[in-house]
Structure 1
Amino acid sequence: MAALAAAAGGALSAPAAAVDETPPGQVNFPTHCLPPQEAGLPPADGPTTARITVDNPAPQVGDTVTVTYQVIATPAVADPDRSPAAAGLPADAPTPTGRVLLAGAQSGEVTVVGGRRDVPAAPASPANPGAALPALTMTGTFTVTAPGEITLAPGGYTLHTSHPVDLDTVCTAAEAPVSVRLTATPLPTANLRSVFLAAPAGAPGARLKVTAAGFTPGATVTVAGRAGAAETADRAVATADELGVALAELPVTDKATTAVVAYEGTAWSARLGSGPAAYTVIGVTPPPPGTQEITATVEPGTLAMTQAGEAITLGAVPYGDGGGAPGRIGTVTVKDARGGPAGWSLIGKVTDFTGPGGLRIPGGSLSWTPTCAAAAGSPSPCTAGSAGTVGPDGAVLASTPDGPLVGGTFTVDAAVTLHVPPYTPPGAYTAVLTLTLS
């Protein structure tokens, strides 16, 4: 009977490191290893040396992070005395599984699984009670659900063999230190701030009534004149009421003013400011005899989107096998005619998929690969969101950056895949995908 037994000093083979240099993410912690009852061996206590790494140390909420848990040294070693011909376990016998503990902004645990690994043959002797296992590498993934610092620490692990029967050596961890810290950033939120003018034009010095809406209740709102991407000398301040509405009178004295914006904070930003509303300062000095003054106004438009189709139908998945149900979202056309400096973000969120009898497939099982293209002549470039999980917390489908002058027409698309678990009961599963443009 082959087994993974508990014994002291089970060093695993690992890539050599520089002298006195500890690789990032490598920690030591006490471990209690309990061999299978069939092995007839006592438990063993000893240190485990492990290393945790992540593929993305600065994810965004909604991103999927891949975690790698490597066990470099463990009290559990191969027991060749209980292997056929005292020659160690056969090739591909051990299969490790483990846990990585999450804390901080997001709590929980990540299940990690490793592929089967060879155990080197070594004859049993008093001087060699067991053959060292090779380094064990396990991987798993989790979806970031909250912004802030998230810590990862190694948890217990299990070494499974199936030669000639299924046996488990279970190693529990105590007081495992933090191995990795990552910082998650929140998704961009919809900016619904806007500004409305009582008149589209006026003489120099006119007091323009301005309504700013969608601001934080109680916030100080600055209303300012704008000439392209730069502010003019025209400025007024008001306080937003409990509904987020601020009323101001803006004396427009700067003849360079061509638009009005409103914002919270010390300076305009795409996150806390409104788009521009066009305004024309009408000259009062009559033109010289024989001449006429000609004024043309380019009025800013809106930021809007349209989507082709009303429903998304994914491909079928055979019962029992599970797998990916592929499809595409309806093509989205975004038109930015505001004429200001603010870019935009298009964010998607999906509910859980509900099937027969209330059965559910989590919304986090839906992933996409976005694409985005700007029409010829569009001032702004378009950036597609990252491929990955959509989920109820959302993910960026596409965006354009802030700039001195932005705008254009953009075509946004995405291939989607619903990952259906094996033996999901047959039936139609339906969810709602919501796209928010801001």
Structure 2
Amino acid sequence: MAVLAAAAGGALSAPAAADGETPPGQVRGQVPGQVDFPTHCLPPQEAGLPPADGPTTARITVDNPAPQVGDTVTVTYQVLATPAAAGAELPAGALTVTGRILLAGAQSGEVTVVGDRRDDPVPAGAALPAVTMTGTFTVTAPGETTLAPGGYTLHTSHPMDLDTVCTAAAAPVSGRLTATPLPLANLRSVFLAAASGGPGAKVKVTAAGFPPGAAVTVAGRAGAAETADRVAATADEHGVALAELPVTDKATTAVVAYEGTAWSASQGSGPAAYTVIDATPPPPGTQKITATVEPGALGMTQAGEAVTLGAVPYGDGGAAPGRIGTVTVKDARGGPAGWSLIGKVTDFTGPGGLRIPGGSLSWTPTCAAAAGSPSPCTAGSAGSVGPDGAVLASTPDGPLVGGTFTVDAAVTLRVPPYTPPGAYTAVLTLTLS
């Protein structure tokens, strides 16, 4: 009977190191992340052998030490030496291993890692060879997360399925990663009570989407330059600032609101169109003839109300692909302000309240402008969507903007291995401003 037995009296002779690795027993620190920790290995009852205690030499590495929230990180857990040994000869392919990696710091929890079957046979009583396990997890929090080795289970399938369970005590940190947060979408906007007025008229302005208590400047604009029209306001607890802007500069064609000393794309709103009506009387013997082109609205429609992603197999996990319902944006305002279409997604909730983080959903957007549209359309960057929002598509500010645009996106949900079977549902919200 081939079993995995625990060798009493401490660790056995160490296995040969993998290519590029320092053999166990060398001075610690020569291989970054290599650690030793006490291990208690309990052989199966069928082996008739006592448990053994001894050090495990291990190393944890990550494929991306500086991910962004929502990224999927692949972790590798190498057991370079273990107190467990083969109680009888193991044929090729009879040994498999599973383990746990413990997360702490910015993100806590466990990662299950799995090793492939060993192809080499193991002689009876020999120290078990080095094994490598891999797994993945989704980054859910910014900051530093530490990774420490946990327990592992050595499984043999010859001549029957038997397990040797090795538990770890006080394992030191073996790996680290530092995650950066997702970039936040700029949802600042400005609305005018009137789109025109005579020189010196006061227009009521509502600026929204600012941090509560922020000092907000409301200013007139002519193209990309500010005019002399300016007033200060303060955002309330809801992030809304109210102001009355006297428009005395005849060059003013739009109004913006922003934080800081000058307007910027990250801390300012898009422009809202405003026209200063020329009150100069016509010369004697002449008449003014006025024709009006009325501005319309900015709006969108979306095909379908639900998105069904592809299925992934239990155990393997992987990418669940799909597409959002096609969005049609129509901008008939006729002013200088472009628009942004922002998407936010909640966590995916499954059976028993189990969750897959919303940051695990990524997309690759596309956007096309219809023929004759004055504005070009720019698709958002491919990447994670997440609960804080990402840009699906946008058009720039300009002297005169507008048009009809078709927006689409391929989406992928990264499902961790061994996610319990069932349907997982989230809500994707699109905001046009």
Query: TM-score w.r.t. structure 2 length?
Result: 0.75
Q: Does 1:176 align with 2:183?
A: no
Partner of 1:28: 35
1:10 to 10, 14, 37: 14
Instruction: Decide whether the 8 Å contact of 1:322 with 1:423 is kept in 2.
Output: no
SS of the residue 2:252 aligns to: coil
Task: Tell me which residue corresponds to 1:57.
Answer: 66
Could you list the per-position Cα deviations for residues 237-261 of structure 1 after superposition, in whole angstroms to 9, with x for gaps in the alignment?
1123344432323343444321001
Counterpart residue type for residue 375 of structure 1: A
Q: Is the 8 A contact 1:207 1:251 kept in 2?
A: yes
Q: Distance in 1 between matches of 2:135 and 2:392?
A: 27
Deviates more, 1:394-403 or 1:90-99: 394-403
TM-superposed CA distance for 1:263, in Å, is 2.0
- Report what 2:108 is aligned to: 107
Over aligned residues, Cα RMSD in angstroms? Answer: 4.6
* Contact 1:33/1:45, CA 8 A, preserved across alignment: yes
Shift of 1:155: 2.4
Task: Determine the C-alpha separation between the residues in 2 that align with 1:105 and 1:423.
Answer: 25
1:91 Cα deviation after fit? 1.4
- Per-residue CA distance 1:417-436 (angstroms, 9 max, x = gap): 797989958xxx68453323
8 Å Cα contact 1:45-1:75 kept in structure 2 = yes
8 Å contact from structure 1 (residues 13, 72) kept in 2: no
1:310 maps to: 305
How far did 1:46 drift? 2.2
Counterpart residue number, 2:342: 345
Deviation at 1:412, TM superposition (A): 1.2
Q: Tell me the distance in 1 between the aligned counterparts of 2:31 and 2:288.
A: 70
User: CA offsets per residue over residues 378-417 of structure 1, 9 Å max, x none?
Assistant: 423213543x7x78x4774724487778876232143667
Equivalent pairs counted in the alignment come to: 413
Cα distance in 2 for residues equivalent to 1:228 and 1:9: 76
Displacement of 1:306 in angstroms is 1.4
Query: For the structure 1 residues 370 and 104, does the alpha-carbon distance in structure 2 shift closer, same or farther, using more than 3 Å as the test?
Result: same
Matching residue's letter, 1:48: T
Which residue number in structure 1 is paired with residue 217 of structure 2? 222
The one-letter amino acid paired with 1:414 is A
CA distance in 2, matches of 1:157, 1:313: 37
Unaligned runs of 5+ in 1: none
Change (3 A) 1:335 1:144: farther
- Cα distance in 1 for partners of 2:313, 2:149 equals 37
Q: What SS does the aligned partner of 2:346 have?
A: strand
Contact 2:5–2:49 (Cα < 8 Å) also in 1: no
Q: Distance in 2 between matches of 1:23 and 1:257?
A: 67
1:56-93 CA-to-partner distances (Å, cap 9, x unmatched) read: 72223xx24233223152233543xx324xxxx22122
CA distance in 1, matches of 2:395, 2:116: 43
> Quick one: which of 378, 382, 386 aligns to 1:381?
378
The alpha-carbon deviation at position 307 of structure 1 amounts to 0.9
Q: Which moved more, 1:404-413 or 1:275-284?
A: 404-413
Compared CA separation, residues 305 and 31, structure 1 to 2 (3 A)? farther
Would the aligned equivalents of 1:232 and 1:256 in 2 still touch at CA under 8 Å? yes
Of 180, 190, 194, the match for 2:190: 194
> CA separation in 1, counterparts of 2:329 and 2:28?
52
SS of the aligned residue for 2:300 comes to strand
Indicate which of 142, 146, 154 corresponds to 1:147: 142
Q: Distance in 2 between matches of 1:106 and 1:407?
A: 44
Query: Which residue type is aligned with residue 223 of structure 1?
Result: V
Distance 2:397 2:412 in 1: 31
Aligned counterpart for 1:262 among listed residues 251, 257, 262: 257
Q: Are 1:83 and 2:88 counterparts?
A: yes
Check the 8 A contact 2:66/2:179 in 1, yes or no: yes
Partner of 1:433 in structure 2?
A: 427
AA in 2 matched with 1:200: S
Identity %: 47
Residue 237 of structure 1: aligned partner: 232
Decide whether aligned partners of structure 1 residues 298 and 276 sit closer, same or farther in structure 2, where only a CA change above 3 A counts: farther
Structure 2 unaligned regions, length at least 5 = none
Q: Which amino acid aligns with 1:308?
A: A
Relative distance call for 1:152 and 1:298 in structure 2 (3 A) is farther
Structure 1 Cα separation of the partners of residues 396 and 102 of structure 2: 39
Q: 1:249-398 maps to which residues of 2 (within 5 A)?
A: 249-283=244-278, 304-312=299-307, 328-335=323-330, 339-340=336-337, 343-349=340-346, 351-353=348-350, 362=355, 370-375=364-369, 378-383=375-380, 385-386=382-383, 393=387, 396=390, 398=392
